[in-house]
């Protein structure tokens, strides 16, 4: 092989490699979760009530992309938690939210947001069918957790790395109406329903 052919081969390999990385990066951003890049949406947890909820897109356990703003007109509950490592407390709350019909009604939808990979939760659900009805979203890049300021709250056992046990209620207009960070990691269904009854 002459020098010219070798150089052309190297340049071609670099260009193809760059294209693969670029395409892979674009795909990952949707799967890992995104906050609108043109938006400056970010809130302080302590001052969140009354603020517009940051819009986001996250992949759900059924492979669909969930965009928060698509649920305007419904009351939305978000449950940020430590996910797979937080057994049994987080698993129990995820299951309770999924199996309680009050949280999947015409006017209400509930999402549990974890920082784990989808494959971890597919395995968990296959062994724990009580979680099968839960609407789990994957924030593996923690971009949504950062926008909602839940990484350094009292309930986190891994401050800065994972959310703890934190809830948001967002009204039909996309405004945050209630927040709860719970270091005790108790089941909160009844408390959340009482707060949502105040919205109607």
Q: What is the residue extent of each domain of the chain?
A: 34-197
Q: What pLDDT does residue 41 have?
A: 77
**CATH classification of 34-197, choosing from 3.40.50.300, 2.60.120.650, 3.10.450.50, 3.40.30.10?**
3.40.30.10
First to last CA, the chain: 76
Neighbouring residues of 195: CB distance < 8 A, sequence distance ≥ 6: 169, 177, 178
Query: Which DSSP symbol is given to 100?
Result: -
DSSP per residue, 22-72? HHHHHHHHHHH-EE-TT------GGG-TTSBPPPEEEEETTSPEEEGGGGT
* pLDDT tens for each residue of the chain, 200 residues long: 566 555 454 444 443 444 333 344 433 344 455 665 444 578 999 999 999 999 999 999 999 999 999 999 999 999 999 999 999 999 999 999 999 999 989 999 999 999 999 999 999 999 999 999 999 999 999 999 999 999 999 999 999 999 999 999 999 999 999 999 999 999 999 999 999 999 97
């Amino acid at each position: 092989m002459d020098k010219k052919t070798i150089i052309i081969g190297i340049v071609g390999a670099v260009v193809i490699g760059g294209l693969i990385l670029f395409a892979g990066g674009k795909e990952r951003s949707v799967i890992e979760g995104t906050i609108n890049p043109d938006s400056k949406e970010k809130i302080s947890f302590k001052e969140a009530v009354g603020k517009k909820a940051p819009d986001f897109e996250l992949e759900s356990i059924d492979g669909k992309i969930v965009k928060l703003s698509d649920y305007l007109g419904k009351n939305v509950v978000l449950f940020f938690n430590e996910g797979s490592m937080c057994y049994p407390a987080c698993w129990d709350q995820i299951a309770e939210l999924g199996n309680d019909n009050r949280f999947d009604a015409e006017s209400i939808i509930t999402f549990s947001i974890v920082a784990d990979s989808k494959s971890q939760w597919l395995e968990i659900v296959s062994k724990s069918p009580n979680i099968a009805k839960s609407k789990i979203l994957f924030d593996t890049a923690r971009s949504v957790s950062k926008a909602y300021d839940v990484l350094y709250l009292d309930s986190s056992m891994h401050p800065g790395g994972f959310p703890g046990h934190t809830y948001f209620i967002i009204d039909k207009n996309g405004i945050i109406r209630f927040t709860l960070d719970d270091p005790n990691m108790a089941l909160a269904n009844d408390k959340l329903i009482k707060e949502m009854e105040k919205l109607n």
